[in-house]
Structure 1
Amino acid sequence: MQIKDIIKKVKQIEIRTRKKTESTLMGQYHSAFKGQGMTFSEVRPYQYGDEIRRIDWNKTARFREPFVKVMEEERELTMMLLVDISASMDYGTKTQLKREFVAEIAASLGFSAAGNNDKVGLILFADKVYKVLPPQKGRKHILAILSTILSTDYVAAPSKIDKVLEYMMSVFKKKSLVFLLSDFQDEYDLKMLRVASKKHQILGMRVFDDKDEQIPDVGYILFQDAETGKEIWANTSSARWRYEFAEKQKQIVKSVAEDFENSSATFVNINTGEDYSKFLYQYFRKR
């Protein structure tokens, strides 16, 4: 994808996600993540209705009239977007590639966070971490994140989710809101997911295409694994073969969902082209 095409695509995504973000997600995001606690702001004279426990007794004694401490919410959060750039994400049979759909989800999440003055960071990974954009605030930074997701070279290697979680844990110490976007086609270390979920609030978002789960009857066909290069012939005319393929995919998804649930993390399954905002709305509401 050339630079002019990337810029055009970023602008299209920004326009397309703006309405969803402003009308649906931003308010729910703010309600869900009100902050990490309370911090001291100022001292002012006591007013009728103020809580007694807020009285600053030292200043009250000094000036011989009641003063209260004013506390304010610590609003700032850090959102981390962990995006799988293994080759299987550079694929799609509908209107969008999985990577483009991921960019759109990232836009809605990023603009929601930016609207609340929160920082957003990006980590691109496959078999290892390939690129990191440290957390920053503002619309320009969100646009840079989208451009990075769309312009990166996707990697012919299996994705290692445990590796990116381990990296995040070692580099970003502050508790963060983590969105892990992948098709979850590869194995991972469950222990690392459990450890990371104790420190951070994690939502795994499986982005998939219809053909990831069901193969149509197109006769004998040569399949190639985009990540390993392995090739295999299959008779897709066989109803039994198609059934077994679909069942295997169902079991993989079920296993991942159970791993997240048992790790006190959240997991959602989203088809490319589906209205992802309803999943995010429900997630924010539950928080």
Structure 2
Amino acid sequence: MIPRETLRKIRRIQIRTSHKVDELLAGNWHSAFKGRGIEFEEVRPYQIGDDVRAIDWNVTARSGEPFIKLFREERELSVQLLVDLSGSQNLGTTSQTKRELVAELGAMLAMSAIKNNDKVGLTLFTDGIEKAIPARKGSRHVLRLIRELLYCDPIGTGTDVKQALEHVNRVSKRRTVVFLISDFQDSQYESALKVARRRHDIIPVVIADPREHKMPNVGLVRLQDEETGEVITLDTASRKNRHRYAELYRQQTEARDNLFRRLQLTPIHLETGCDIVEPLRKYFHQRESRS
């Protein structure tokens, strides 16, 4: 049985995010994603003016006459939230942790999908797959997703984006809109991302905290890596150390964003303590304009 305090917290985040969905996102959801999924329907003889790229070469070879494939638009989307719960998500130097931001974001996306009669599922990962909930519809299902986003106690602490993408590729047989939500403190996932991009509509959502790119001058501090447990002592009074810290972050983010550009993926960047609605609305409008 779910404790009352847990239920109250779930309801609070549902009410808070539901208002934002109604006001800003729901109207743009389907127009941003419609037409992204298509299903094969039938073949018919080629007619002048048809797109030659739609020719079914197997049927054409057997019949001796050109035939093309016909597709129909899927009116119902399948959405998958692929969410990083590694140790680094516990960082929070503003009014919320990265994990709390992820929970609010996940709730907004799930409710946007449900309000547009789409299915939504959830896969939580660290350096392993922590939990996988199949895509379904309904408000009760959304409440379950919010509960897992808030209270799932992961076993792992590291980040393995590659394994998470490979999991989605295995279990999602139809084309899926995948929100890959992570701080991307990982490497060696480019090949898996390439495969996933061909099969699915991948939307990277980059989660960050202000202190990750700018270290304040607060003297000697002890820092612990939440994913590896390693502890170091850093003199933040040193301008050289602060510059090196910022430069390392810049190099990591530049490598990540260059990868997204090569694969023609447009990420959404969100930061703790900041409004998340405007970046989402801007992204949805951009997709609607492109489509």
Superposition TM-score tier, normalisation by shorter sequence? 0.7 to 0.9
| Cα distance in 2, alignment partners of residues 244 and 39 from structure 1 | 53
What's the offset of the Cα at 1:286? 2.2
Structure 2 partner of 1:51: none
Tell me which residue corresponds to 1:253: 253
Conserved? CA contact 2:180–2:203, under 8 Å: yes
What residue is the counterpart of 2:127 in the other structure? 127
Query: Counterparts of 1:276 and 1:188 in 2: how far apart (Å)?
Result: 28
What amino acid is aligned across from residue 8 of structure 2 in structure 1? K
Number of matched pairs = 256
Q: Specify the code of the residue in structure 1 equivalent to 2:260.
A: F
Please say if residues 156 and 226 of structure 1, whose CA atoms lie closer than 8 Å, have aligned partners that are also in contact.
Answer: no
Which letter does structure 1 place at the counterpart of 2:256? V
Amino acid at match of 2:277: S
- Residues 105 and 219 of structure 1: CA distance in aligned 2, closer, same or farther (over 3 Å): same
* Alignment-mate amino acid for residue 221 of structure 1: V
Task: Give the direction of change, closer, same or farther, for the CA distance of 1:33–1:283 in structure 2 (3 Å limit).
Answer: same
Match of 2:105 in 1: 105
SS of the residue aligned with 1:266? coil
User: What corresponds to 1:49 in structure 2?
Assistant: none
Deviation at 1:180, TM superposition (A): 0.9
Equivalent residue, structure 1, for 2:18: 18
Change (3 A) 1:282 1:163: same
Q: d(CA) in 2 for partners of 1:201 and 1:231?
A: 39
Larger radius of gyration between Structure 1 and Structure 2: 1
Q: Which residue type is aligned with residue 228 of structure 2?
A: T
- Is contact 2:128–2:156 with CA below 8 Å preserved after alignment? no
Please, which moves more after superposition, 30-39 or 216-225? Answer: 30-39
User: Can you list the C-alpha shifts for 1:96-137, whole angstroms capped at 9, x where unaligned?
Assistant: 111111111111111110011100000000111110010000
For 1:159 and 1:255, how far apart are their aligned partners in 2?
17
- Where 2:34 maps in the other structure, the secondary structure is coil
Q: Distance in 2 between matches of 1:165 and 1:98?
A: 21
3-state DSSP of counterpart to 2:267? strand
TM-score normalized with structure 1 length: 0.84
User: Which residue identity lines up with residue 223 of structure 1 in the other structure?
Assistant: L
- Residue 195 of structure 1 aligns with an amino acid whose one-letter code is V
**8 A contact 1:86–1:155 mirrored in 2:** no
Alpha carbons 1:201, 1:265 under 8 Å: kept = no
Q: Is the 8 A contact 2:111 2:142 kept in 1?
A: yes
Asked whether the 8 Å contact 2:157–2:228 carries over to 1, the reply is yes
**1:230 partnered with 2:236:** no
- Please state how far the C-alpha of 1:39 moved relative to its aligned partner: 9.8
SS in 2 for 1:92: coil
Counterpart of 2:57? none
Distance (Å, rounded) in 2 between the aligned partners of 1:191 and 1:73: 29
Q: How far off is 1:154 after superposition?
A: 3.8
Q: What CA RMSD, in Å, does the superposition of the two structures yield over aligned residues?
A: 2.0
2:103 alignment partner AA: A
CA-to-partner distance for each residue in 1:185-205, whole Å, 9 max, x for gaps? 222321111111111111111
Q: CA 1:172 to 1:39, structure 2 compared with 1: closer, same or farther past 3 Å?
A: closer
Which shifted more, 160-169 or 31-40? 31-40
Q: Check the 8 A contact 1:6/1:150 in 2, yes or no.
A: no
Q: Aligned AA for 2:259?
A: D
Mapped partners of 1:254, 1:24: distance in 2? 31
Distance, in Å, in 1 between the alignment partners of 2:111 and 2:170 is 26
Question: Mind listing any 5+ residue stretches in structure 1 that lack a counterpart?
Answer: 41-71
CA distance in 2: counterparts of 1:254 and 1:90, whole angstroms: 23
Matched residues in 2 for 1:37 and 1:171: separation?
A: 18
SS of aligned partner of 2:76: coil
What whole-Å deviation, never above 9, does each CA across 1:225-257 have from its counterpart, x for those lacking one?
A: 111111111111101101110111122112111
Report the TM-score when normalising by structure 2. Answer: 0.83
Residue 229 of structure 1 aligns with an amino acid whose one-letter code is: G
Deviations 1:143-187 (CA, angstroms, capped at 9, x unpaired): 110100111114553201011000110111111111111111222
Where does structure 2 lack aligned partners over 5 or more consecutive residues? 42-71
Q: Residue 82 of structure 1 aligns to a residue in which SS? A: strand
Q: Aligned letter for 2:273?
A: G
List aligned pairs for 1:95-244, cutoff 5 A: 95-155=95-155, 157-244=157-244
Deviations 1:199-218 (A, max 9, x none): 11111111111112212112
- Verify the 8 A CA contact 1:81 1:123 in the aligned structure 2: yes
